[in-house]
Structure 1
Amino acid sequence: MTVVTSIRREVLTLPAAELGPDNPLPPLRPLDETHRVDERDRDDLPADMARQLGHEPLRSLLPVRIRDGYGRTRAPRALAALVIENDRLRATVLPGLGGRVASLVHLPTGRELLHRNPVFQPANFALNGAWFAGGIEWNIGATGHTTLSCAPLHAALVPAPDGGVMLRLWEWERLRDLPFQVDLWLPDGSDFLYAGVRVRNPHEHPAPLYWWSNTAVPADHRVVVPAAQAWEFGPERRLRRVPVPSHDAQHPYATDHFYDLPDGRRRWIAALDAAGHGLAQVSTDVLRGRKRFVWGTGDGGRRWQEWLGGPGTGGYLEIQAGLARTQLEHVRLDARSEISWLEAYGPLSTAPQASPETVEERLAHALPRTTLDAAYAAWQSCADTAPGDLLATGSGWGALEVLRTDLKLPGTPFAESTLGEDQAPWRELLRTGTLPEPRRVRPPGPTLVAPHWRDMLETAPATPHTEYHLGVAQWHAGDRAQAVRSWERALPLAPSLWPLLRCLAVADQESGHHERAAERYADAFDDLCRERRDDGEAWTAAAAALGREALEALLRAGRAADARTAWEALPPATRGRGRFRLLEAELLLAEGRRAAARAVFADGFEVADLREGDDVLGRLWQRLGDEPLPRRYDFRMRPQNP
């Protein structure tokens, strides 16, 4: 019996934490980037790598918002899934969570080829916060996990190159303003899932481009690549060339190895278990880079893996494929141009501990290079095909840009019907030249900061609401003095003071005026507490976000009494969250109540949005005494100073 490839809807039920609301405060501070190369290393790098390391690194998250409203309480929740299946493979895709391929099962053997996370637990790993471990993810934007990690993508059925059906995922990436698509299909009888990827630059100017496809596989697998050397990037943040490490090489801390694949060699990477079974990823040559990431053998790495998946679920490592040799680089995408490639993911079996040459021979048999190249050529003729049945809906930001520019993007329609509440005021600005005032008192909506939107804000009537958004756009453009003037102009007539005072407080901090910043934060939080209308999601998120920043600023300025006042004004449910228990311990220590601060640690808490590489727990613990940091709080990813 012939089994025809099918795509169907399913529901994936997992123990899952809720994502919660986005942070309503615009992210004005510089990006907290841990992947910067030590300047001492640049002179020893190849010229093209050194150039791309400095090519337009991301400086700000705007216009994207931070996603930090999630917690650590998991309950069975239904996640919308799309399943692509033939008689050889079954791929489960989560369109509402960045198009993540959560599972890839080889049906004849029943083997799961990926690290399949048994829970959905957001953590602070994406550029804008919420991210989760496992599966295959599509990272676009800038160095790090994409801001779309936990965001919905558009998804629809499209005719496949072989006459069957494929799943198209697409969105508008807002950090770089680039539309992209990922087409997933399984030819009948194929052991490999194909992923055709295209990124377009529809603008009149070049754009920096970043892409890495990231696959999680079990930690006990060995990684095999056709390379003898790699660029190692470890906790010291030094980029240095090393021999390709063996599977048994031990790293106490999280480490990246970017493999230096020779020119002319086929682009592939494999992760195989002790018996020689596992997953191979291979692509056309445009996707040149390959990488292995390991968490390391230290307590911090083990704790992070438990944090992301739960105790006893097994660790994982990552194999990745990207446009550059390292993830520290951005490449140039010329104006009015596009780039595309084809990836394939499937099972591979070899003899145990087979050499890279032998593994490559097996891969050549399982998926000949000519077959992949022919599939890519065939897919290119389908890349512009209009999607058919719509299976999922992404954001309305692409539709707003299409409305503004009248762009023609065949294959990836951004329908006007997807415009929503967040886009409504900007659509009105585009139509009338005026940014409408909010219809009710509530936290401000997101700000658009690209030059064309900033120009429209500058020519719009100068209401306090418009001045607030204009200041954010000016700040993003680097014109900080003008941003401060815009916010200050808005203050006398603004019905809501706290959004403006908070922006001015950040500006004070960035210029080193911490006492004045603390004063403005105290005033801003007091104003928000008076203005707050209800206990709904929007106001609760605003109170938590501003309350946290105010507490941190007041403690930094040594104003413990004012910090206590702000603490008492927080809603009880907010004070019970792990991030605020940590702030409570810091506040108690500032008040001289060391024993009470230690008691907070003894009672136990979890900082749900703890950032990768952030040692705030360890630093505070050191101030409380000389005892070793309890394991439950040990997320340290770098060697400690003696």
Structure 2
Amino acid sequence: MVIVKTTVRRDVLTLPAAPLGPENPLPPLRPLREVHRPDERDKQDLPRDMARQLGHEPLRSILPVRVLDGYGRERTETELDTLVIENDRLRATVLPGYGGRVHSLLHKPTGRELLYRNPVLQPAGFALNGAWFSGGVEWNIGATGHTTLSCAPVHAAAVTAPDGGPMLRLWEWERLRDLPFQVDLWLPEDSDFLHVGVRVRNPHEKPAPVYWWSNIAVPEERRVLVPADEAWRFTYTGGLRKVPVPEVEGVDRTYPERGEHPADYFYDVPDGARRWIAAVDEDGHGVVQTSTDLPRGRKLFVWGSGRGGRRWQRWLTEPGAGGYAEIQSGLARTQLEHVRLDAEAEFSWLESYGPIAARPDRAHGDWRGARDEVAARLADALPREAVDAAYEAWLPHADAEPGERLATGSGWGALEVLRAGHKLPGTPFEESTLGPEQTPWLELLRTGAVPEPRKVAPPGPTLVSRHWRDMLETAPARPLTEYHLGVAQWHAGDRAQAVRSWERGLELAPSRWPLLRCLAFADQEEGHGERAADRYAEAFDDLCQERRDDGVAWTAATAALGREAITALLAADRPEAAREVWRRLHHTTREEGRFRLLDARICYAEGDLAAVRAVFDEGFEVADLREGAEILGELWTAATGGEPVPERYDFRMRPPAE
């Protein structure tokens, strides 16, 4: 038999994909709607450390990251760059342009795909900053939810593995928490298991909150097995309750299709027990993930069999494709927690992914027997001691300098390394990766001043960490500087000072609409709805007069500001002004589903219920509909006097009565 040595190579994957579109140029001054927040009363019955970590440093906003909401639902055949690591047993296909996600894990001897492999790449509004897609294994870092790197490039290179073969390293700078991290994919020559070494570092002089969950999509026609007899169940009504495993309310919830509504099950794996989770089909075949002991959490997410869950499943893929569930592994017991990482310290661990083959009668039998069966088959295939040994073998190689560069991520890490002089062996953030978005901040770092733009354009992204805020406060008080300073101050919680900075900038600003929009948002947050509406209308008028062309940047700015202005004007009960803004949008913008929804909302405010019904009957799709959003059903119900919501508009993730 010819043994294929482990290789790492570039390749191309062709998939029907919807383009991501441009970033939203308006700074996100509030967190996106949080649907993963438990009721305060639930915390009273939780373990003390869990209750403490539930409230540990929640996000103020997703700044400095921008929202990615410019995608649609028109998919075309698209070539995607991939990185492939394989031996004679496994082939892992990685998407470096999409957070380093493992798109496919193929067991070559059996021809079995171990993961749920989405046949399309369809962005949807599930990431903290918007665009996300389903399938494969994703690396979630930052804060509760899907990472802002879901649809962003990461750095990648080949590195020497512990056994002397090649290893694939992925790394980036996570900007919500200002932390560098790496993911090393190592596939020994004769192994059925892909080892994944993970390291998160805190190079700063103060502690940082850390969130990590490795999210594994699997076909939903599986049974999920884990060494636990209890779980914390979180539902979209906000409840967090301890429940038995496997049966809850007379239903075996370890079968994802048997639940009616979307829910999370965070399994209570006992201290000292081996960490693993598996999903097996009716024949006992499937995938298993195990790790060293640091990641204590294991989770199952199910969409459920209800209409809303089914609608989301179809929304994320193409007709005829099967549904999926998620099995996950994380640092904390639940995804509602953030773990403290001390100053100048790091977390590191090893995960292993591979096939499992259990006797079907036992895997689908009583809970104790099913767990014991999978645990025994895992022990045969990959003993716990072997995982610990692989971790110890990998750890000295975590600092190895990368060899051939295979993909390039963002320049934000290079900017932070230049600012602070961080020494990060193994994950170089090189000056060559700096780009146009970093240029004004590099000038601020080197000269102490924010450069005024050379041409009229929407302002670039704002950096908001304490170090950059301090530099902005001492920089010459030019209009663009005051704009950025106000955004940083708002993020820090100093709202009054942020408003003063924006007002100072407005006095001399050649471009007024970015500052007016920030002031309008501040008015809205403080409950001054009429003044907010006035300022939004003024900001939109100023933008329309200033815009230079119908290019991507200006069109994105007009759409984003128009959407906010219409919403504010409707909140102030001014449908005529909202309609005027809608009319001034570009005709292609008005045809987008999210603006068709705004059209229907304006019609409703105007009292024209027939027009609302006509918009729904004609059909539209709001591409960036957020997880948990119920606006479509609510508007339909209000406009029709309570008629049942059509299936195509029913995205509810909780029972209608709740």
Asked if 1:106 corresponds to 2:121, the answer is no
The 5 A counterparts of 1:152-301 are: 152-245=153-246, 246=252, 247-248=254-255, 250-301=258-309
Q: Is the 8 A contact 1:29 1:506 kept in 2?
A: no
Query: Hey, what does 1:491 align to over in structure 2?
Result: 506
CA RMSD of aligned residues (A): 0.9
Deviation at residue 512 of structure 1 after TM alignment? 0.4
AA partner of residue 170 (structure 1)? W
Query: Hey, what does 1:530 align to over in structure 2?
Result: 545
The 5 A counterparts of 1:591-606 are: 591-606=606-621
Work out the CA distance in 1 between the residues paired with 2:380 and 2:295. Answer: 21
Work out the CA distance in 1 between the residues paired with 2:528 and 2:319. Answer: 44
The 5 A counterparts of 1:222-621 are: 222-245=223-246, 246=252, 247-248=254-255, 250-352=258-360, 353-354=362-363, 355-621=370-636
Work out the CA distance in 1 between the residues paired with 2:66 and 2:525. Answer: 20
- Cα deviation 1:304-357 (Å, max 9, x = unaligned): 000001221000000000000000000000000011000000000011142101
Query: Hey, what does 2:653 align to over in structure 1?
Result: 637
3-state SS of 1:340 partner: strand
Question: In terms of mean alpha carbon deviation, does 413-422 or 23-32 score higher?
Answer: 23-32
Q: Is the 8 A contact 1:63 1:446 kept in 2?
A: yes
Query: Hey, what does 1:628 align to over in structure 2?
Result: 644
The 5 A counterparts of 1:32-71 are: 32-71=33-72
Work out the CA distance in 1 between the residues paired with 2:438 and 2:501. Answer: 23
3-state SS of 2:397 partner: coil
Deviation at residue 31 of structure 1 after TM alignment? 3.8
3-state SS of 1:533 partner: coil
Deviation at residue 591 of structure 1 after TM alignment? 1.6
Structure 2 unaligned spans of 5+: 247-251, 364-369
Work out the CA distance in 1 between the residues paired with 2:55 and 2:630. Answer: 27
**TM-score w.r.t. length of structure 1:** 0.99
Q: Is the 8 A contact 1:21 1:67 kept in 2?
A: yes
Q: Is the 8 A contact 2:35 2:236 kept in 1?
A: no
3-state SS of 1:600 partner: helix
3-state SS of 1:360 partner: helix
AA partner of residue 365 (structure 1)? D
Question: In terms of mean alpha carbon deviation, does 611-620 or 349-358 score higher?
Answer: 349-358
3-state SS of 2:152 partner: coil
Q: Is the 8 A contact 1:31 1:59 kept in 2?
A: no
Work out the CA distance in 1 between the residues paired with 2:491 and 2:294. Answer: 32
Work out the CA distance in 2 between the residues paired with 1:570 and 1:283. Answer: 52
3-state SS of 2:316 partner: helix
Deviation at residue 597 of structure 1 after TM alignment? 1.3
Deviation at residue 248 of structure 1 after TM alignment? 4.5
- Cα deviation 1:259-315 (Å, max 9, x = unaligned): 000111100000000100000000000011100000011000000000001221000
Query: Hey, what does 2:367 align to over in structure 1?
Result: none
AA partner of residue 39 (structure 2)? D
Work out the CA distance in 2 between the residues paired with 1:403 and 1:447. Answer: 17
3-state SS of 2:611 partner: helix
Structure 1 unaligned spans of 5+: none
Q: Is the 8 A contact 1:31 1:58 kept in 2?
A: no
Question: In terms of mean alpha carbon deviation, does 453-462 or 583-592 score higher?
Answer: 583-592
Work out the CA distance in 2 between the residues paired with 1:235 and 1:61. Answer: 22
Deviation at residue 78 of structure 1 after TM alignment? 0.5
Work out the CA distance in 1 between the residues paired with 2:323 and 2:556. Answer: 33
**TM-score w.r.t. length of structure 2:** 0.97
- Cα deviation 1:125-178 (Å, max 9, x = unaligned): 000000000000000000000000000000000000111000000000000000
3-state SS of 1:2 partner: coil
How many corresponding residue pairs? Answer: 642
3-state SS of 1:309 partner: coil
Deviation at residue 69 of structure 1 after TM alignment? 0.6
Deviation at residue 42 of structure 1 after TM alignment? 1.0
